[in-house]
Amino acid sequence: MTSYLSLTKAMLIGLSRDKSTLFFTLLFPLFFLIIFGALFSGGQSSPSKVVQIGDVPVLDQVLAADPDAFDEVLELSSTDDEAAAVKMVEDGDVAAAVKQNGDQVQIFYSAADQTTAGIVTGVLSGIVNETNLQELQVAAPEVTITQVTASQVEDESLGAIQYLMPGLLGWAISMSGVFGAAMTLVTWRQKKTLRRIRLSPVSVGAVVGARVGNTLLLALIQLVVFVGVASLPFFGLKLTDYWWMAVPTVMIGALAFLSIGLLVGAVSKTSEGASGLANLIILPLAFSSGSFYPLEAAPQWLQAISYVSPLRYLNEAMLDVMVRGEGPASVLPEWGILIAFGLVFGFIATRLFRWDDI
């Protein structure tokens, strides 16, 4: 225990003195949270998924005339269960849901991507307006005009910060886990610190435990800082009832990325090489995992790639419990995947680990 505490203290002191590491693992992601929180406007590059609730005559009429009319902008599906359709919108599985009762067309959208919601609402409103115009030309003034209303599925007070914060926090945790472990391992190997530790009474378990403890502590600090900043009145973050499940989620995610960092440190011979390899891993993961924008706005090929990224599952788990109001059980699949990533990469790292460069 004495060895463990001494190593933990040494690592914490080293981290506090390394201004570059502090900047890139804490302040740099925080800048993104502040900038995106104030300016985020989203994006769209592929057809938006829309689910029809029952019969929607205004859409069916257009499709009857031209089955390919919406291929470039909308990907339609259908269900008779309104509650299930709204849940799909809340979970981000579809961009919107639409139903029609007589002359009333109701659109359900999510605040997760306000740009996509605006595009879908605009397209559907345009379809209704075009139908109204055609009907007026044929039967004015007796024709009944179809009305369109749009409803956000979440609380109207929710803003983009609800969805930005978990993604950017996940990115920050992935950076601290990978860079922290990789740079520590390489630097200690270059300075022969690992060799001295090996020859000392300190056990390997104490070394690993100290590194794990530092990673978990930093992840919790990141969680507190990000939630604290995002909760300021300017940003207006609102946490759901099960937000506290983000604490074990963050810890499990940090361990998964720690294992990747250990692997990077094991195969890298210099700090420059470790930094380059870590960047080569983290940046693609961030862009393919919804850290900077909702995955629904990404091309289909990028969405497919995201399924092999551990960062996707960390982001999704935090969104479920911090934004979508899902219960504790909702994050269990993501936890399992993150733990599996950690075990696999951790095992590979132990097989490639070297005490020194010789």
- Report the C-alpha gap between 302 and 251 in whole angstroms: 27
In a domain, 64, yes or no: yes
270 and 122 in a common domain:
no
Q: What domain range includes position 195?
A: 2-40+160-352
250 and 196 in a common domain:
yes
Helices (H), 159-203: 161-190, 193-199
Contacts for 76 with CB less than 8 Å, ≥ 6 apart = 50, 51, 52, 59, 63, 70
pLDDT for residue 27: 64
In a domain, 358, yes or no: no
pLDDT, one tens digit per residue, over 215-247 is 888 899 999 998 888 888 887 788 888 899 999
235 and 137 in a common domain:
no
pLDDT, one tens digit per residue, over 243-300 is 999 999 999 999 999 999 989 988 888 888 888 888 888 888 888 887 877 776 677 7
213 and 137 in a common domain:
no
Instruction: Among 107, 133, 152, identify where a domain stops.
Output: 152
56 and 28 in a common domain:
no
Query: Residue 2 — very low, low, confident or very high, per pLDDT cuts 50/70/90?
Result: low
Q: What angle do CA 241, 224, 318 make, to 5 degrees?
A: 50
In a domain, 182, yes or no: yes
Q: Which residues of 163-173 are buried (b: 16+ CB within 10 A; e: fewer)?
A: bbbbbbbbbbb
167 and 194 in a common domain:
yes
135 and 98 in a common domain:
yes
332 and 258 in a common domain:
yes
307 and 217 in a common domain:
yes
CATH number at 114 reads 3.40.190
Q: How many structural domains is the chain composed of?
A: 2
Spell out where the chain has E strands.
48-53, 74-79, 96-101, 104-109, 147-152
Instruction: Among 152, 184, 210, identify where a domain stops.
Output: 152
In a domain, 259, yes or no: yes
Q: Which residues of 17-36 are buried (b: 16+ CB within 10 A; e: fewer)?
A: ebeebeebbbeebbebbeeb
In a domain, 303, yes or no: yes
pLDDT for residue 24: 58
For the residues 84-95, what does the mean pLDDT come to?
83
- Report the C-alpha gap between 231 and 340 in whole angstroms: 32
125 and 174 in a common domain:
no
pLDDT for residue 274: 83
Instruction: Among 101, 124, 152, identify where a domain stops.
Output: 152
The pTM (predicted TM-score) of the whole model is: 0.63
Query: Half-sphere exposure of 133 toward its Cβ, with a 13 Å CA cutoff?
Result: 6
Instruction: Name the most confidently modeled range: 14-23, 92-101, 201-210, 311-320.
Output: 311-320
308 and 173 in a common domain:
yes
In a domain, 357, yes or no: no
255 and 323 in a common domain:
yes
